[in-house]
Structure 1
Amino acid sequence: MSAVWNYFKVCTSDVKFAICNDCKAAVPRGGTKPSSFNTSNLINHLKLNHPEIYAAFVNQSNEKKQQGQAAVAVKKTQLTLKDCTEKKQKYAKDHPRAKAINRKIIECIALDNQPFSIVQDAGFTKLVEFLEPRFTMPNRRYLTDVCLPELYSVVYNHVEKLIVDAVYISFTTDIWSSSVSQVSMLSLTAQWLDKDFALKKAVLHSQECRGSHTAEAIASAFEGMFERWGIPKENVHVVVRDNARNMAKAASEFGVPSLPCMAHTLQLAVNGGALTQRSIADALAVGRRVVGHFKHSPLACSRFEDIQKELNMSVKKLQQDVSTRWNSTYYMMQSLVEQKRALSAYAADYELPTTLTASQWGIMEKMITLLGPFEQLTRDISCAEATAADVIPGVVSLTRLLAKTDESDKGVQTAKHALLEAVSKRFDGVQTEPLYAIATMVDARYKDRYFDPDKKEEARNMLLKVVDEMASVGNGQREDAAGASADDPGQEDQDPPPKKAKGSLQDMYQEILTENDVATQATTGETASQVHAYLGEVTILKTACPFKYWSSTQMRFPALARVARKYLTAPCTSVDSERLFSAVSHVIDEKRNRIHCNNAEMLIFIQKNLPLTDMDKGKN
């Protein structure tokens, strides 16, 4: 029925007329017989005499029309009996939708360190059934035997394409032994610079290392891993490993250059040079007992928190150190000194197994100051973009800082002297090691400014020799020795470096740069001209990125850019392998201590390299 009858009613004395509800006028219905009656006159009456009522009528008509169209659409979309039956049927295993869900389940297991038994957990199965009722949850065997290898193959092929384009690749390696099962694993991670000087990283292996970890066995494992990826030894720039003799010998027997991990070397220097000093070791032993008391007593821990609140201090827990991480000892001392007031208040009301004397508190405070630059350097070299170029400047700045005398050294002079000797001994010869020296020279933050006067000329000659050798091989690239481009970071006006606390490690970096003014030298030869022009320019800021520098400057110094692309691939630590094994420890844990090593390796490979495929999808 038309919405117009909301505003009219049929005349009771003569049905040929309709009475307007508003003005009570009698309006003809358009004929003399009921079959010819219509609403046109009624609508026109509203339009001419009652505009506001007419507008309301139009809105009601439109709403009614839309409701009718929706009803027709619903009727058209009603499924047939056959369609209803098919919609309730479960997907077959080879159905595209089922395969896509299976892949997401494997990604979830790999990325979140979930066990394969998650497909049997009630909560997870209910969630998946709610999201997709037609999906049949696979069993664990199907996931491990079919879905895991399929996803591994996809990610492997993607990484393989990236590796093929790399000219020079550097690697890190390490061996890890599980604490919950009799399993040892050997890692191999890769990093390289692409044509745009973007740093690329990938995990290649975390494979089982059976038997004795001899140099011969490790070298044989290296050979198998490199053959599997089709990486020739000529493309291997360097392998960064720990300081163990078997790893160094394995790299030598395999026939590739290798470097020790700088973080491991710092660990040996600090432990041997300072932490073994009698007075320091005694203070640390007392500190460990104090921390252990709160770690093993929930009651003591809650009392300690109450005292911190009463003193208006931040509620913080004391940190326990680990023998294999010197910086964890540094953080333990820091936490003890920060909570000195709270510990003193606790000891006044409750019993502690032991307490630090005033002398031991003083030793800890001074050791925190003394080891601060070591902790800063360790953090710097452990960042994702740290390279072998950071070793020489870091060591030179650190030794200079240790050689300076200060009033605050009172009580730890012996430890400071021992640290200086240990650092000098452990890093002896780094300035003459070509892998370090050339990397430092082509890093625009350092160049030749951090070499000793008697080593600087030798480093320059090493660089010239390598530039000439690589230029003779790669003359295909365009050479442009014109002036610096507008976006050359080496020529931009640079802000002065931020001010640091007096006597800090950053002060030493800046002090050395200031002392080493550039001297102009006569040159002969095109590549030599590039080298001396590059070295003659000011260094970029310490906080700048050397990769971005070369990305914008490679057309000006093409011969040097090729050297930079090779030597700046080398990391200065094996942190990538250590972080890899931190992930492995979550895969092979107490809940999954019987997982097969091949499955564990595939899970780790997917977890670490799957983001590479996502990044490339974003670019496309």
Structure 2
Amino acid sequence: MASPVWQYYKVSEKDNKFAFCNVCSKVVPRGGTRQRGFNTTNLIRHLKACHIKEFEEFTKLASVKADKDKERATSSQTPLTQLTVTETLKRQQPYSNDNKRQKELNAKVMEFICLAQQPLSVVEDAGFKRLVSCLDPRYTLPGRKYLTDVCLPELYRNVYTHIESLMKDNIRAVSFTSDIWSLSVCPVSMLSLTVQFINEHFELTKVVLHSQEFPGSHTAEALAAVFTDMFQAWGIPQEKVHVILRDNARNMEKAMRDARLPSLPCMAHTLQLAVHEGVLAQRAIIDVIASGRRIVGHFKHSQLAYSRLFSIQKQMNPNQPPKRLQRDIPTQWNSTVAMLKSLLEQKRALCAYAADFELPSMLTVHEWKLVENMISVLDPFDELTKTISSSTAAAADVIPSVRALTRLLEKTTETDHGVKTAKTTLLEAVKRRFSDIESERLYTIATLLDPRYKDRYFPVGLKPQVRRLLSDVLAAAAEQEEVSEPPQKVPRAGSLHAMHAELLAEDEQHEGGGGNISSAASQINLYLSEPVIPNSHGQPLAFWKANKDRFPALAQAARVFLSAPCTSVDSEQLFSTAGHILDEKRNRLTPKNAEMLIFIKANLPVMLLNQK
């Protein structure tokens, strides 16, 4: 608190080393030349020497302030009790194994290992031990065996219980993705099963159910049996399985049919097949890609060559940092496009390099133009692949994306020179591989229920048919709800309530259908008559959350159909996690422990988020 003496002074605005006396306006120095050296001694002396009355008032105020400060300090102090020698020694001893703090820290260490994808042997690392000892000297790190046998199963059970309760919490239907992955560090194959659904708050939730070992031959019969066991383990009835996104392998497709599970191919895989068939199978393009790989390989295997290329890049663009050429993965066409883009970007630097140094291959003027035109053709495919691989992509994006893609390929542009045949072949491949998407019920209904698309991407002659299909879906949902609802209490005959019911029933018959169907039809007409929301920043689930009271039947259908993804990217990303867990340092990790680590890594953030 400020001294009471400031009731009689004011700090100078021009120089804060001085203060003005409010009584006589005299300038009094505050003492010192810096702010931290200022004091009130000179101010008090001036009052005492020149203003006796004001000095006496100040003395009384200072005395009252001192008493209050003393009282406040006394009340805030806690009585100190001296610990005995035994108690002091006890507080320095390590926690016992059954100590609550020891168990809490064990759980946190296990969470750290799972979330950071660290090996269990990290507890034996000298640096990690020193860190933990500094944070809490009384805590003793458990051994790797204790973590494996006790902490890991305990954390797995906690996460499993949470995910199990989450799955049972008012879910109308769930969608899945699945894929098979073979490890490079050990002869083990793993089968994934991820799930996503939309809860009653119209929030999309994604969890991992399985990433288990899949030994033996990958036949359709074996796959069907494993899928049946996985759904039974989680108590998921077959009628709640909305769709499973899978790859285009025939054994996986047949397995879904044998297990009577609805499934669809991954759109990203289908696009990849179309690109390989339409573009990357052309002889001229194959030769250009091969030359590009030899160029990139030359620099990847020679640091001296890269140093020379970097020097040329700096001379041409002194303000830009040097860039490396990208190597492609033959099985991923978009990585090939990225490689060609990096080559085209460094075209001038590569030509300058080839003038002074030897290259295993170099593109001609015609080939450079071919690369440029091929990139312009494949850029929309690359953009679409990134879009459908995002976490918010859904089955509703398939029909609009394919319609936009085919229209783009049908247009003639100046960049078609040299790639016209490839572009025509690519268009045919896209049309053939996506020829039946509009007849697929899931794609059609999902597109209609997406407020960004509605029925705008369907041909005019097909719109009445898709509207009837949506009406049938809502009618079937209404019938299921009526079956599940308890019987309504019948009004007493002759009562006024009974007359209201009779009039309403006659009106429904006059309108030509039941109340639910009529209501659903009006919802469809009103919903489809309104403008679509902008695709650039529109959020379908946010729209349905805000309009669930206006369109209750449509909103519940949206929870089902918009939950379906359009790719199996979630399963593929899961295997990226598995690749970090099952590496060269942990190639002896048992499949059971590996699955628990992957399960916790994927689902622990979901549990922690829901607990906030």
Question: TM-score, with normalisation over the residues of structure 2?
Answer: 0.82
Query: Given the superposition, is the C-alpha separation of residues 92 and 311 from structure 1 closer, same or farther in structure 2, using an over 3 Å criterion?
Result: same
Q: What residue in structure 2 maps to residue 448 of structure 1?
A: 455
CA deviation after TM superposition for structure 1 residue 617, in Å: 2.2
2:584 matches 1:577: no
Instruction: Give 1:235's aligned amino acid.
Output: K
CA deviation after TM superposition for structure 1 residue 265, in Å: 0.3
Q: What residue in structure 1 maps to residue 13 of structure 2?
A: none
Contact 1:321–1:332 (CA under 8 A) maintained in structure 2: yes
Percentage identity across paired residues of the two chains: 53
Structure 1 alignment gaps of length 5 or more: 1-44, 478-521
Q: What residue in structure 2 maps to residue 174 of structure 1?
A: 179
2:582 matches 1:591: no
Query: Given the superposition, is the C-alpha separation of residues 48 and 453 from structure 1 closer, same or farther in structure 2, using an over 3 Å criterion?
Result: closer
Q: Which of 358, 364, 370 matches 1:357?
A: 364
Q: What residue in structure 1 maps to residue 414 of structure 2?
A: 407
1:78 counterpart SS class: coil
Contact 1:523–1:532 (CA under 8 A) maintained in structure 2: no
Inter-partner Cα distance in structure 2 for 1:120 and 1:330: 45
CA deviation after TM superposition for structure 1 residue 155, in Å: 0.9
Instruction: Give 1:536's aligned amino acid.
Output: S
Q: What residue in structure 1 maps to residue 230 of structure 2?
A: 225
Q: Which of 302, 306, 310 matches 1:297?
A: 302
CA deviation after TM superposition for structure 1 residue 48, in Å: 8.2
2:126 matches 1:122: yes
Q: What residue in structure 2 maps to residue 39 of structure 1?
A: none
Q: What residue in structure 2 maps to residue 345 of structure 1?
A: 352
Matches within 5 A, 1:57-76: 76=80
Q: What residue in structure 1 maps to residue 604 of structure 2?
A: 610
Q: Which of 153, 170, 179 matches 1:149?
A: 153
Inter-partner Cα distance in structure 2 for 1:357 and 1:589: 43
Write the deviation string for residues 545-567 of structure 1: whole angstroms up to 9, x where unpaired.
11111111222222222221111
Inter-partner Cα distance in structure 2 for 1:374 and 1:539: 25
Inter-partner Cα distance in structure 1 for 2:545 and 2:57: 71
CA deviation after TM superposition for structure 1 residue 104, in Å: 1.1
2:473 matches 1:473: no
Structure 2 alignment gaps of length 5 or more: 1-47, 486-510
Q: What residue in structure 2 maps to residue 528 of structure 1?
A: 521
CA deviation after TM superposition for structure 1 residue 54, in Å: 6.9
Query: Given the superposition, is the C-alpha separation of residues 134 and 530 from structure 1 closer, same or farther in structure 2, using an over 3 Å criterion?
Result: same
Q: What residue in structure 1 maps to residue 499 of structure 2?
A: none
1:539 counterpart SS class: coil
Inter-partner Cα distance in structure 1 for 2:361 and 2:570: 39
Write the deviation string for residues 58-77 of structure 1: whole angstroms up to 9, x where unpaired.
799899979x979x96x924
Contact 1:381–1:572 (CA under 8 A) maintained in structure 2: yes
Q: What residue in structure 2 maps to residue 160 of structure 1?
A: 164
2:131 matches 1:131: no
Inter-partner Cα distance in structure 1 for 2:331 and 2:116: 27
Q: Which of 402, 405, 410 matches 1:398?
A: 405
Inter-partner Cα distance in structure 1 for 2:512 and 2:198: 30
Q: What residue in structure 1 maps to residue 395 of structure 2?
A: 388
Write the deviation string for residues 182-211 of structure 1: whole angstroms up to 9, x where unpaired.
111100100001112111111111011111
Q: Which of 307, 316, 340 matches 1:311?
A: 316
Inter-partner Cα distance in structure 2 for 1:456 and 1:61: 86
Q: What residue in structure 1 maps to residue 97 of structure 2?
A: 93
Contact 1:158–1:613 (CA under 8 A) maintained in structure 2: yes
2:561 matches 1:556: no
Q: What residue in structure 2 maps to residue 508 of structure 1?
A: none
Moved more, 260-269 or 228-237: 228-237
Query: Given the superposition, is the C-alpha separation of residues 530 and 53 from structure 1 closer, same or farther in structure 2, using an over 3 Å criterion?
Result: closer
Instruction: Give 1:558's aligned amino acid.
Output: P
2:196 matches 1:196: no
Q: What residue in structure 1 maps to residue 257 of structure 2?
A: 252
Contact 1:173–1:239 (CA under 8 A) maintained in structure 2: yes
1:101 counterpart SS class: helix
Inter-partner Cα distance in structure 1 for 2:337 and 2:368: 14
How many pairs does the alignment contain? 529
Contact 1:523–1:529 (CA under 8 A) maintained in structure 2: no
Write the deviation string for residues 429-471 of structure 1: whole angstroms up to 9, x where unpaired.
1001111111111111111111234433332222121111112
Write the deviation string for residues 200-241 of structure 1: whole angstroms up to 9, x where unpaired.
111111011111111111111111111111111111100000
Contact 1:432–1:455 (CA under 8 A) maintained in structure 2: no
Write the deviation string for residues 497-532 of structure 1: whole angstroms up to 9, x where unpaired.
xxxxxxxxxxxxxxxxxxxxxxxxx99733222222
Query: Given the superposition, is the C-alpha separation of residues 459 and 90 from structure 1 closer, same or farther in structure 2, using an over 3 Å criterion?
Result: same
Contact 1:308–1:315 (CA under 8 A) maintained in structure 2: yes
Q: Which of 402, 418, 423 matches 2:430?
A: 423
CA deviation after TM superposition for structure 1 residue 474, in Å: 2.5
2:611 counterpart SS class: helix
Query: Given the superposition, is the C-alpha separation of residues 562 and 523 from structure 1 closer, same or farther in structure 2, using an over 3 Å criterion?
Result: farther
Inter-partner Cα distance in structure 1 for 2:512 and 2:361: 68
Instruction: Give 1:162's aligned amino acid.
Output: L
Q: What residue in structure 2 maps to residue 34 of structure 1?
A: none
Instruction: Give 2:133's aligned amino acid.
Output: E
Instruction: Give 2:131's aligned amino acid.
Output: L
Inter-partner Cα distance in structure 1 for 2:282 and 2:201: 49
Write the deviation string for residues 400-435 of structure 1: whole angstroms up to 9, x where unpaired.
110111122111100100110110111111001111
2:248 matches 1:243: yes
Query: Given the superposition, is the C-alpha separation of residues 366 and 59 from structure 1 closer, same or farther in structure 2, using an over 3 Å criterion?
Result: farther
Question: TM-score, with normalisation over the residues of structure 1?
Answer: 0.81
Write the deviation string for residues 311-362 of structure 1: whole angstroms up to 9, x where unpaired.
1143211111112211111111111111111111221222211111111111
CA deviation after TM superposition for structure 1 residue 383, in Å: 0.9
2:329 counterpart SS class: coil
Instruction: Give 1:78's aligned amino acid.
Output: Q
Matches within 5 A, 1:13-92: 76-92=80-96
Query: Given the superposition, is the C-alpha separation of residues 443 and 65 from structure 1 closer, same or farther in structure 2, using an over 3 Å criterion?
Result: closer
Moved more, 115-124 or 54-63: 54-63
